């Protein structure tokens, strides 16, 4: 805990009225936090391990069995990620843009759960959303949802209703005419925005965000890792050249890894 967080925690502790720890809502929150710790350790942590191993196995299969590394999807996704990496190393820090996506993720998720929004603010120094609804999904939404990636997919999905995304279209640029395929821009923008999301998710988690503390840091980190790993698997399946890997093969691989790890633990313990 940073010195600023420690001072704030001490101030909140000293300013609590006597007997507040006996209030039913405080006891309920503590019990819920304890349950989340158990869920994080017993369910989410093993699921994270199995999912991570599955992702590695499926990537290895794709590389060895298919022309995956040279596929259009992988090449342009990687290109987008590299562009973001170069920009970040060059000092580009769109913090306000990230905070906007962060708070809008809170806002839209709260609305999905029936919450009312009273006020919200975004700035380079931070932001907030005031709502009458709070739960695990609302508080952790910015870390689970790649906000700008979803916007890009939605925009291209709408554009695809009127435009053939797989066909190369002639575009005049001053004296030159170039043929551009919209799908390549989609893959590149998904790579860029997802890496943007991953970068600032890691930075925010390291900075001890209050959103994680409300749900228990261990539980929150396990859930964030698991959801993002599932998202990577989904992107991986979408990028697999046809005929390629399918959902059924991924599920069989996940189950095989899970039973293999469980069998190893059983033999180790018993």
Confidence of residue 269 (pLDDT cuts 50, 70, 90): confident
Report residue 62: phi and psi, to 5°.
Answer: -65, -40
Q: Which of 192, 222, 244, 250 is nearest to 37 (CA)?
A: 222
Quickly list DSSP for 163-203.
S-TTS-EEEEETTEEEEE-HHHHHHHHHHHHHHHHHHHHHH
7-12 mean pLDDT: 44
What average pLDDT does range 101-128 have in this prediction? Answer: 90
What's the rounded Cα separation, in Å, for the pair 269 and 262? Answer: 11
Q: Which residue has the tokens 């991953």?
A: 198
| Tokens representing residue 226 in the block | 């698991």
What does the block give as tokens for 17? 């009225």
Task: Say what the pLDDT of residue 150 is.
Answer: 92
pLDDT of 159 strictly over 90: no
Say if residue 268 is exposed, middle or buried (CB neighbours under 10 Å; 0-12, 13-18, 19+). Answer: exposed
Measured between alpha carbons, how far is residue 259 from residues 3, 50, 90, 211 in Å?
44, 9, 45, 34
Q: What are the structural domain ranges in the chain?
A: 23-66+211-270, 71-207
pLDDT level of residue 106 (50, 70, 90 thresholds): very high
What is the C-alpha separation between 219 and 246, in angstroms, rounded?
Answer: 30
pTM for the full predicted model: 0.77
21 DSSP 8-state letter? G
- Checking if the pLDDT of 9 tops 70, the result is no
**Most confident of the following: 104-113, 202-211, 252-261:** 104-113
d(CA 212, CA 220): 6
What's the chain's average pLDDT?
Answer: 80
Helices (H), the chain: 3-14, 24-39, 45-65, 72-89, 95-112, 136-144, 147-159, 182-206, 210-215, 217-239, 247-269
């Amino acid at each position: 805990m940073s010195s600023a967080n420690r001072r704030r925690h001490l101030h909140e502790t000293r300013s609590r009225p006597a007997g507040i720890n006996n209030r039913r809502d405080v006891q309920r929150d503590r019990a819920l936090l304890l349950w989340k710790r158990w869920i994080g350790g017993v369910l989410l942590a093993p699921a994270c391990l199995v999912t991570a191993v599955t992702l590695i196995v499926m990537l290895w299969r794709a590389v060895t069995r298919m022309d995956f590394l040279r596929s259009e999807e992988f090449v342009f996704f990687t290109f987008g990620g590299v562009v973001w990496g170069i920009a970040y190393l060059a000092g580009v820090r769109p913090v306000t843009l990230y905070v906007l996506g962060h708070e809008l993720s809170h806002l839209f998720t709260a609305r999905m759960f029936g919450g009312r929004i009273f006020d919200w603010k975004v700035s380079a120094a931070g932001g907030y959303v005031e709502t009458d609804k709070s739960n695990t999904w609302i508080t952790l939404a910015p870390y689970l949802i790649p906000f700008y990636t979803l916007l890009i997919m939605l925009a291209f999905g709408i554009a695809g209703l009127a435009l053939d995304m797989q066909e190369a279209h002639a575009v005049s640029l001053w004296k030159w005419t170039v043929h551009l395929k919209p799908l390549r821009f989609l893959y590149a923008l998904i790579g860029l925005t997802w890496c943007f999301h991953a970068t600032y998710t890691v930075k925010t988690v390291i900075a001890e965000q209050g959103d994680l503390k409300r749900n228990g840091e261990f539980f929150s980190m396990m859930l964030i890792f698991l959801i993002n790993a599932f998202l990577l698997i989904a992107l991986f399946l979408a990028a697999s050249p046809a005929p390629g890997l399918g959902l059924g093969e991924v599920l069989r691989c996940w189950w095989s890894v899970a039973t293999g790890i469980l069998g190893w633990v059983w033999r180790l313990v018993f």
